[in-house]
Structure formats: C-alpha cells, structure tokens
C-alpha cells in the first residue's frame, strides 16, 4: 500500500472510530507496527491527529481533549479492549461485596462480565447495568433515581446524589473521561458529581479506563490520583503516566490479551 494511501486509510479509520491502536492499524493495513508508528508521527506533524502511547486519536478542538463522543459512539469504540478490562476487573470482587457502579460504556461491559459472579450487592445509576446484573438472582441490585440523562441512559442530579448518600459500599467502580498525572476527570458536571458522591460513600475506588483516556484533559475533576486504589486498563500507559500512578499509590492492572 502506498504511503499516501495508508495515510488516507488511517485518517478514515479515525474518522469512523474516534481512536485506534497501533496494533489494530498494523493488522488492517498489513504492515508492521513500526511502519504504523512512523506514519502516525508524520500525520501528527502534519496536524492530522494526536498520538498517545499505543495509538492515535483525532485532534481535539482545543489544546486538550475537552470534549467527548456521544455515548452510542463510545459504546462502539474499542469493544475488545473494554471486554478485557471487564473480565480482569470481575476477578477483583468476591461474593458479598457491595459496589457502586456508575454509568459508562466500560462499566456496562463490566456489568455483563460481573453478572456471572454470585451474591453481590450493586448500587447504580444505570438502568441498563441494573437490568444486566438482575439477571443473576443471587445479586441484590439498587437502581438510583433522578433526572434522566438520555444520552447515556442514566440517573443524574440532586435526587440521585441524595440517594447515594443513603448507602455505604465497600467499593466504587467508576469510568472516567480522562486521566493525567494528577487526577481523573470527566467531561460532564453531573456525571462527575455522581462519581464524586460514590467515592465519598465507598471504602475503595477502582477506575476502569481504556488506553484512550490516558494523558487527556477534561473540565471536571472527579478525584486526585491519590484517592484511587486500582486502575484497570487494556494497554500499558506511557512511562511518565506509569510513574505518576505509582507515586500516587495506584495499583495498575493491565488486562491480559486474548
């Protein structure tokens, strides 16, 4: 495939998926990962994309990626990686554990994996997650009410926050929109408020985030890294990000490949 054709193919993949890994591009284009990395470097220099460790994403509208794709599109992005995260995260919880679970494409995958585990108590603001977990009758599931957020199908606002305050859980399992060397963040104020409230009412915090969330910025801080106990992801972060996690005391769990 000629260089210009590869460039066009890479840009087309990014336009359709929002982000892509080096490994995925190498398979699609039939070239080595080193060739893909060189192509991505040239495309970044030309202002066509932004690289991150292990892949690339389209350029944001500002200096940092402070916007987020619609939820339906996020559900279709990196499904294999999110499934690996979900399966790895499932092994972290034991029968009789209690979990807050917020709404996100990765926590939906997590709920699908968790449904096979016995005797858990889950508190969630996602009707889809509640319905998925309730298929296992050994689980006790509490669905939070509130203002309905149609994009992700979730309960938000003061009523949801008030109900979170009535529970105390051993774990909070959260998705986030972005993570950098200082904090985990989200793009939506109401979603960030739900995550913060869950953190306040949980003993331990586990964040599920695929590689595309690393070294991004978002408007609303959810928690400093030091408040996070575990981070489960699908690909290793960059060395600076890895150091930041270690310095904050965050246990990094990279899901195994199939």
CATH of the domain at 233: 3.40.50.1360
Question: CATH number, domain at 18?
Answer: 1.10.10.10
Residue 110 within a domain: yes
pLDDT tens digits, residue range 72-131? 666 666 788 899 999 999 999 999 999 999 999 999 999 999 999 999 999 999 999 999
Enter the tokens of residue 208: 């599920």
Residue 214 within a domain: yes
The predicted structure's pLDDT at residue 187: 92
DSSP state of 77: S
Assess whether 45 and 80 both reside in one domain.
no
Residue 63 within a domain: no
pLDDT tens digits, residue range 187-231? 999 999 999 999 999 999 999 999 888 988 899 999 999 999 999
Residue 75 within a domain: yes
Greatest distance between any 2 Cα atoms in the chain: 61
Question: In whole angstroms, what is the distance from residue 92 CA to residue 102 CA?
Answer: 17
Assess whether 192 and 248 both reside in one domain.
yes
Q: How far apart are the first and last CA of the chain?
A: 28
Residue 219 within a domain: yes
Helices (H), 168-232: 189-200
More confident residue, 28 or 230: 230
In three-state secondary structure terms, 242 is helix
CB 198 within 8 A of CB 165: no
Buried b (16+ CB within 10 A) or exposed e, 32-71: eeebbbebbeebeeeebbbebbbbbbbeeeeebbbebbeb
Assess whether 138 and 38 both reside in one domain.
no
Q: 220 pairs with which residues across the strands?
A: 186
Enter the tokens of residue 154: 């979730």
Assess whether 203 and 82 both reside in one domain.
yes
CB 238 within 8 A of CB 212: no
Assess whether 35 and 82 both reside in one domain.
no
Assess whether 10 and 84 both reside in one domain.
no
Number of domains in the chain: 2
The predicted structure's pLDDT at residue 61: 44
CB 146 within 8 A of CB 157: yes
Assess whether 15 and 103 both reside in one domain.
no
Assess whether 172 and 109 both reside in one domain.
yes
pLDDT-based confidence at residue 136 (cuts at 50, 70, 90): very high
Question: In whole angstroms, what is the distance from residue 168 CA to residue 171 CA?
Answer: 9
Strands (E) in the chain, as ranges, are 20-21, 50-52, 55-57, 98-101, 121-124, 140-143, 147-149, 154-156, 169-175, 178-179, 183-186, 202-208, 220-224, 230-233, 251-254
Element spanning 159, H or E:
helix 157-164
Assess whether 77 and 152 both reside in one domain.
yes
Assess whether 89 and 194 both reside in one domain.
yes
Assess whether 81 and 12 both reside in one domain.
no
Count other C-beta atoms under 10 Å from residue 105's C-beta. Answer: 22
Assess whether 180 and 232 both reside in one domain.
yes
Task: Look up the domain containing 31 and give its range.
Answer: 5-58
Residue 40 within a domain: yes
Question: In whole angstroms, what is the distance from residue 71 CA to residue 83 CA?
Answer: 17
Q: What is the pTM of this model?
A: 0.76
Residue 91 within a domain: yes
**Polymer length in residues for the chain:** 258
Residue 66 within a domain: no
């Amino acid at each position: 495939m000629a260089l210009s054709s590869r460039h066009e193919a890479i840009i087309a993949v990014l336009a359709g998926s929002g982000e892509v890994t080096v490994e995925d591009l190498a398979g699609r284009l039939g070239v080595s990962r080193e060739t893909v990395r060189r192509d991505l470097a040239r495309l970044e220099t030309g202002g066509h994309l932004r690289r991150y460790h292990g892949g690339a994403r389209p350029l944001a509208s500002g200096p940092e990626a402070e916007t987020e794709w619609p939820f339906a599109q996020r559900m279709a992005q990196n499904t294999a990686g999110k499934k690996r995260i979900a399966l790895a995260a499932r092994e972290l919880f034991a029968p009789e554990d209690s979990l807050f679970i917020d709404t996100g494409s990765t926590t939906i995958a997590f709920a699908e994996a968790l449904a096979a585990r016995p005797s858990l108590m889950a508190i969630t603001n996602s009707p889809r997650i509640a319905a998925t977990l309730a298929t296992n009758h050994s689980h006790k599931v509490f669905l939070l009410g509130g203002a309905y957020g149609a994009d992700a199908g979730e309960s938000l606002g003061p009523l949801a926050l008030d109900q979170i305050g009535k529970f105390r859980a051993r774990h909070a399992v959260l998705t986030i929109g972005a993570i950098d060397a200082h904090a985990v963040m989200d793009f939506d104020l109401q979603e960030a408020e739900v995550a913060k409230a869950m953190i306040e009412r949980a003993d331990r915090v586990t964040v599920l985030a695929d590689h595309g969330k690393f070294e991004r910025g978002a408007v609303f801080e959810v928690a400093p890294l030091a408040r996070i106990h575990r981070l489960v992801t699908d690909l290793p972060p960059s060395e600076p990000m890895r150091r930041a996690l270690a310095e904050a005391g965050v246990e990094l769990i990279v899901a195994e490949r199939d």
